[in-house]
Amino acid sequence: MATKKRAHELGVAAVAKRAGVSTATVSNTLNRPHMVAPATQARVRAAIEELQFVPNRSASALRNGSGRLIGLVVPDIVNPFYAAIAKVVATATRERGYVMALCVSGDDAEVEMAHFTMLAEQRAAGAIVVPLGADTSRLARLRLVDAHPVLVDRRWPVDDGCSVAIDDERGGFLAVRHLLETTTGAVAIINGPLDIPQCLERETGARAALGAAGLDPDQLITRTVAEMTIEAGETAALELASQTPGGVFTTNDQLAVGAIRGFARAGVRVPDEVSVVGYGDLALATESLLPLTTIRQPKDLLGRSAVDLLLGEIESAGKRHHHEAVLHDPSLVVRSSAP
Amino acid sequence: MATKKRAHELGVAAVAKRAGVSTATVSNTLNRPHMVAPATQARVRAAIEELQFVPNRSASALRNGSGRLIGLVVPDIVNPFYAAIAKVVATATRERGYVMALCVSGDDAEVEMAHFTMLAEQRAAGAIVVPLGADTSRLARLRLVDAHPVLVDRRWPVDDGCSVAIDDERGGFLAVRHLLETTTGAVAIINGPLDIPQCLERETGARAALGAAGLDPDQLITRTVAEMTIEAGETAALELASQTPGGVFTTNDQLAVGAIRGFARAGVRVPDEVSVVGYGDLALATESLLPLTTIRQPKDLLGRSAVDLLLGEIESAGKRHHHEAVLHDPSLVVRSSAP
């Protein structure tokens, strides 16, 4: 380490000489640019380019006592919802001088815990986490080393920390209100397990839309599937077809694609005889042969808010910080499956 | 930094006392476990758990003179091909004790360069890179600080470094051989710009399949599109319909979905009148209403090979290292669009 530090100091000295400034000015240009006049900064940066000097930020971060590493912990990166969040978080952290470590927990609590341990060992400044399940006790590992955790797409008591999520009840409400306004006949929901908070909230919103239209919320025909896949949607729609609903709300886009397939197999035409509204506005919403009416989640806003909350907390060091729980509204996107 | 180092040393001392071993044994358990008897290791780890001690690996990495940070630089993380690679690389690096920083270059050479600079400043041990375009000179920034670059899904001269890619010529060959074996009439290709190496190689393979079947490679009907989107595939198929090809090879899955739409609009039935083979085996290959016959790229193998090559190079420090260029074969997956 002494060697690396020494190499860094020699580099700073060479840049200072070339730019005709002191080594303190080089250091300030790198670490506290607001203290250096723009023209001087430009001279220092030109010398850095000419000498191909690469400042050692990992050492300087340690000297300042605050890491530049931010963890993003998600259950899956192939899921386009999490991929969209990762894209925004990677970009926003880079723009503000941090490095984002991507941690994929793969729906495995042990792997998630191994990631928290690794981020703690690396003295990460903080982590943006989509935790597995409702048990957030594993996040204590991060707090041991003062790494700030911010939840995304999940909520916890605001005393525990910052969080940013989407109002899924609002999403369910928007989907079913659209079906009530554009179709006649009964409304059905094809939903995942109700112990998943998002599924419960989307169904609560769906019932609220019936209530707001002066109907009995218990008129909602419900079908619950164990896995929210295309196959499950197809099976559920085949079963539903005999009840001739006018509109079906599926709580993700995969179920919607499956439901359209199932109705086609049962000889029920979408959208002429039954309308289908999905949830998520994934790529498959427009890639399927029948483009989906669906609920769009503000993924970019979710990622940007999480970064703002986390860096606000990290950079408040010493000052008073108040946790915030931010909730963003989703929106309805109308396409062919429920015009 | 002195404080952090001191806190780490106090923690090690407390663990040693609790486990009834020397501080050197604690340090060996953390950093050189092969030197410590399993029973002793277990005692040390139990003490670490009880005391909730989090070793500071970022400092120890610096002391050892080698970082534990690996960069993954990809053009886009929402693209499911790159997301699949990121998933494998994140998992494989974690399992071997490294942290993966995700860098999204967004098809912007300046952003890519900013990522290389950042990784160099953080003294990353290496980077797995899908570079933008054919110009790999920006990677020199990494070499300045001895961070090893490994190319993935791209090739460069083996003297420049390790690389792992997929044999796209083989993929084009497999696609068109299948069409020749299962259809009659002319074969067409809908391809992206030929200055993209993958597009050129897939078309070269397609022509080779005609040659291998004793046909004139110039019989291949070609359509080139500027952007490889569903919309472009639809337009190209509408134009092709009058030439009544028996089989169409599209060089990605988006073009295949579009081609099926275009033929449907032109009143040509897929697969009864024309077969369509895609490329990539993305999720949309099975999510579309007509599941696609397509070329599967071994994404997991690509990611795992890249990690093996990179860590082999990093951990060879001092010993002789020979760069390798690894090429994996894709495979044909037969579904309904070209049975």
Per-residue pLDDT tens digits for B164-198: 999 999 999 999 999 999 999 999 999 999 988 88
Asked if B94's CB is within 8 angstroms of A114's CB, the reply is yes
One of 3.40.50.2300, 1.50.10.20, 1.10.600.10, 2.60.40.1120 is the CATH number of B69-167+300-329, namely 3.40.50.2300
pLDDT score recorded for residue A315: 85
* Contact predicate A143/B122, CB 8 Å: no
| Residue A212 phi, psi (nearest 5) | -65, -25
pLDDT in tens, B71-106: 999 999 988 899 999 999 999 998 888 889 999 998
> B133 or B132, which is more confident?
B132
pLDDT at B231: 92
Q: What is the mean pLDDT of residues B242-262?
A: 95
Nearest to residue A331, comparing CAs of A212, A224, A171, A178?
Answer: A171
State both tokens at A201: 């909230």
- Across B30-56, average pLDDT: 81
The pLDDT value given to residue A5:
60
Dump the DSSP string for A187-232: EEEEE--TTSHHHHHHHHHHHHHHHHTTS-GGG-EEEE-SS-SHHH
Under the banding of pLDDT at 50, 70 and 90, the label for residue B7 is low
Q: Which residues of B touch A59 (CB under 8 A)?
A: 62, 123
**Closest Cα in chain B to A253:** B287
Sole residue written with tokens 């990605």: B252
Cβ–Cβ of A63/B1 closer than 8 Å?
yes
B64 has pLDDT over 60: no
- How many angstroms separate the CA atoms of A315 and A318, rounded? 9
A279 with A254: CB under 8 angstroms? no
Q: Which residues of B touch A283 (CB under 8 A)?
A: 284
Closest-CA distance, B215 to chain A, in angstroms, reads 35
Q: What is the mean pLDDT of residues B252-263?
A: 94
pLDDT at B200: 95
Q: Which regions of chain A are under pLDDT 50? A: 1-2, 62-66
pLDDT for A159 equals 85
The proportion of chain B whose per-residue pLDDT surpasses 90, expressed as a percent, equals: 56
Q: Which CATH architecture has domain A69-166+300-328?
A: 3-Layer(aba) Sandwich (3.40)
pLDDT reading at B240 higher than 60: yes
Residue B316, by phi and psi: left (phi above 0), alpha (psi -120 to 50) or beta? alpha
Q: What is the pLDDT of residue A61?
A: 52
What lies within 8 Å, CB to CB, of A269 at 6+ separation is A263
- CA-nearest residue of chain A to B85? A78
Helices (H), B22-105: 23-31, 38-51, 57-63, 80-95
Domain map of chain A by residue range? 2-64, 69-166+300-328, 168-296
CATH fold label, A2-64: 434 Repressor (Amino-terminal Domain) (1.10.260)
pLDDT band with cut points at 50, 70 and 90 for residue B203: very high
A287–B120: do the CB atoms touch at under 8 Å? no
Asked if the Cβ–Cβ distance from A121 to B57 is below 8 Å, we say yes
The shortest C-alpha distance from B158 to chain A (Å) reads: 25
Higher-pLDDT residue of B302, B36: B302
CB-CB: which of B58, B117, B264 is closest to A62? B58
CATH number belonging to domain A168-296: 3.40.50.2300
CB-based contact B260 A289, cutoff 8 Å: yes
Of the candidates A108, A184, A94, which has an alpha carbon nearest to the alpha carbon of residue B108? Answer: A94
Task: Considering only residues B316 and B209, tell me which one the structure prediction assigns the higher pLDDT.
Answer: B209
- pLDDT attached to residue A63: 44
Q: Tens digits of per-residue pLDDT, A270-307?
A: 999 999 999 999 888 887 778 999 999 999 999 999 99
The single-letter DSSP state of residue A132 is S
Helix (H) / strand (E) containing A150: strand A148-152
Q: Do B289 and A261 touch (CB under 8 A)?
A: yes
Note whether A2-64 and A69-166+300-328 share their fold. Answer: no
What mean pLDDT do residues B313-321 have?
81
Per-residue pLDDT band for B63 (boundaries 50, 70, 90) equals very low
> Bigger pLDDT: A33 or B17?
B17
Partner-chain residue, chosen from A72, A78, A99, that has the shortest CB–CB distance to B118: A99
Residues on chain B touching A114 (C-beta within 8 angstroms): 94
Q: What is the mean pLDDT of chain B?
A: 88
Which listed CATH number (3.30.230.70, 2.102.10.10, 1.10.3720.10, 1.10.260.40) goes with B2-63?
1.10.260.40
User: What's the pLDDT at A59?
Assistant: 52
Cα A200 from chain centre: 19
SS3 B224: strand
> CA-to-CA distance for A137 and B245, rounded, in angstroms?
61
Residue B153 CA to residue B137 CA, distance in Å, equals: 17
Give ipTM to 2 decimals: 0.76
| Most B CBs within 10 Å, among A3, A102, A253, to test the B interface | A102
Q: How many Cβ atoms sit within 10 Å of the Cβ of residue A35?
A: 12
One-letter amino acid identity for B16?
A
DSSP annotation of A1: -
